[in-house]
Structure 1
Amino acid sequence: MKKWLAIGGLILVTVIWGGGFVASDMALESMKPFQIMMVRFLVASVLMGMLDLGNRKKAEQVTKRAGAIKAGILMGIALFMGFSLQTIGLQYTTPSKNAFLTALNVVIVPFIAFLILKKKIGIKGIVGAILSVVGVALLSLNGNLTLSLGDGLTLLCAVGFAFQIFFTSEFVKKYPASVLNMVQMITAFVLSAASLVIFEEMEFQVTTKGWLSVLYLGIISTTVCYLLQTACQKYVDETKAAIVLSMESVFGTIFSIIILHEVITLRMVIGCIIILIAVIISNLSEAEGEMKNEEIQCDNL
């Protein structure tokens, strides 16, 4: 029963994150990218910090706090890279393209694990990567086979999110999730504030719709979703969770059509479907690897 409730919770996360693409697009009407990110991560940092206060009395967590801070900083840098490139890219592409290209982070994760941990990539992982390239070509390449600035930045943002997923899967086994979440949000906030100054985006002229959009991003899409995701993944293995979370791109497109009246072409639909298939195949490859590892462990007992 807990497993099915957890899967339901993860689906809710994808719905909220799907709405986040539309909220970001609406916020960009009156705010600049690093303004959005600074407010978003400031709100998330404060809320995560308040939640973490209740855990400070636990001796086990206190002893692990120093390591968790270092790990959280790495996660925060990757998170900042992902969100900054995603938000800037959204200025030059549509929310639906932004959502599906971001979903490619799931395909990239196994290749990061191969480079850093020397984990083998299965045949399905390779097929998934090839399909993702075909999907990106259909979805994003112009008639002269060039990639638009927005789509190119979004592809780079997928790399940032892939590193964040990889770091999270490695560090959450060693350190308290509450500390990791808080530190990565603070790190992303500090980097966003620094970028705000560097790129001279200090002047705020925000509309009511802009404030409501960025508060949705900070409170609901960031704080609530990251906490809910962490809680749900206690009962759902990360491979199944990744497949469920990849549906974020589908909901992002649905909300973009309903709320922003985005026009979708047949070529875009085919490209999106191929990318979604690539994401699922890549995750099935990971699931296969986990099952083989479990069998080897059982044989050694």
Structure 2
Amino acid sequence: MQMRGNILLLITAFIWGTAFVAQQVGMEELGPFTYAAARFFLGTLFLTGLWLLGRKRRAFRKQRGIYHSGWKMGLVAGVMLFVASSLQQYALQFTTVGKTSFITALYIVLVPLGAALFRLAKVYLVNWLGAVLALGGLYLLTIQGTVTLNLGDILVAISALGWTSQILYIDRFAPHVDVLELSLSQTICCFAASLLMALGTETMALAPVIHSWVSIAYAGVLSTGVAFTLQIVGQKYAAPSEAAVIMSFEAVFGALASFVILGEQMSTAQICGCLLMFSGVIVSQLRTIMQKKNVPAK
């Protein structure tokens, strides 16, 4: 089951990574909160449909006494998700996309650190080694030129703490509640908060939203509705430290999608970064692979 969870997280990373292209195109005409409100609205509609289809299954689980609602847990996760994504989006006004990607991915190290400090899960040597390799690869993939810190970088660092909290929170509660309700509640919370921010800080118009419908549909249905749900399901079976490394692979998929779809070129350093991140993912899985072969692993 753990390997199945890891595969779901890898699919999540692929969807999130390719969604970078959709978001880049969609943000050409829309403000960040308007775009977020539109995508989370579509995600809410999609997940509501799935939730309605699962009524009989939930009724059956209630009769057997094995149903645990995910609504309240999802609201807390939604606040974490909104704060993290909003800080990240706002910070882009002051820093580069590359630095944002790298600093955000500090959760690769922060998640196992948090899991160890709060005793949420065991963290093994291969997890730390995989995290370091992935972080080094991400540096080569995203950072170019001289590194300097500014306000945007500080905001992104704070958002990385938000992503870390969300991952650890999902790891703690996902195995015990209804996954779909948790995901839907989280999405509704993000939609409501994004809409309020858009109404208060941006000029909203219907025409740009309609013009960007392809981008919004991809980000709303796949990146929000499908991927965030797969994240929750995947984290039911995967250790948080492994989950963080696997989900960071979205940066690789994003770079590859930009190369294939937008025609952006990749340097030798970026290619090496992708390979190093791939090595980090493999190393973080060594213990799971060895366990499946019944070989003791430290």
Q: TM-score, normalised by structure 1?
A: 0.73
Q: 1:222 corresponds to which residue? A: 224
Work out whether residues 87 and 155 of structure 2, in 8 Å CA contact, stay in contact via their aligned partners in 1: yes
One-letter amino acid of the counterpart of residue 40, structure 1: R
1:127 Cα deviation from its structure 2 partner = 5.1
Match of 2:31 in 1: 32
Please name the residue that 2:46 is paired with: 47
Q: Deviations over 1:208-236 (max 9, x none)?
A: 552221121011111122344555666x6
Shift in alpha-carbon separation, 1:251–1:101, aligned structure 2, 3 A: farther
Match of 2:143 in 1: 140
* Conserved? CA contact 1:83–1:157, under 8 Å: yes
The residue that corresponds to 2:80 in the other structure is 78
> Residue 108 of structure 1 is aligned with which of 107, 110, 113?
110
Q: Secondary structure at 2:175's aligned position in 1?
A: coil
Would you say 1:163 and 2:165 are equivalent positions? Answer: yes
1:1-23 CA-partner distances (Å, limit 9, x unpaired): x9887766554433322211111
- Unaligned runs of 5+ residues in structure 2 are none
Measured in 1, the distance between the counterparts of 2:21 and 2:129 equals 31
Deviations 1:152-193 (A, max 9, x none): 554443332222111111111221112111111111112212
Q: 1:279 to 1:199 in 2, by over 3 A?
A: farther
Report the alpha carbon displacement of residue 87 of structure 1 after superposing the two structures with TM: 3.4
Select between 30-39 and 134-143 the one with higher mean Cα deviation: 134-143
Per mean C-alpha deviation after superposition, the further-off stretch among 81-90 and 4-13 is 4-13
Which residue number corresponds to residue 93 of structure 1? 96
2:183 touches 2:232 (CA, 8 Å); kept in 1? Answer: no
Paired residues of 2:108 and 2:135 also in contact (CA < 8 A): no
Q: What is the number of equivalent residue pairs in this alignment?
A: 284
Closer/same/farther in 2, CA of residues 224 and 133 from structure 1, 3 Å limit: closer
Instruction: Give the fraction of aligned pairs with identical amino acids, expressed as a percent.
Output: 31
Structure 2: distance between partners of 1:286 and 1:160? 28
Whether the 8 Å CA contact 2:171–2:235 is kept in 1: the answer is: no
Pick which of 145-154 and 250-259 moved more.
145-154
Contact between 1:26 and 1:209, CA under 8 Å: does it hold in 2? no
Aligned AA (1:256): S
Q: TM-score, normalised by structure 2?
A: 0.74
Q: Kindly report the root-mean-square deviation, in angstroms, between the aligned alpha carbons of the 2 structures.
A: 3.9
Equivalent position of 2:13 in the other structure = 14
| Structure 1 unaligned spans of 5+ | 296-301
- SS of structure 2 residue aligned to 1:26: helix
Distance 1:137 1:19 in 2: 19
Q: Distance in 2 between matches of 1:33 and 1:286?
A: 40
Give matches, 1:1-301, under 5 Å.
Answer: 10-53=9-52, 54-55=54-55, 57=59, 58-59=61-62, 64-65=68-69, 68-89=70-91, 92-94=95-97, 98-99=100-101, 101-117=103-119, 122-124=124-126, 139-140=142-143, 142-143=145-146, 145-147=147-149, 153-203=155-205, 206=208, 209-230=211-232, 237-238=238-239, 243-270=245-272, 274=276, 277=279, 283=284
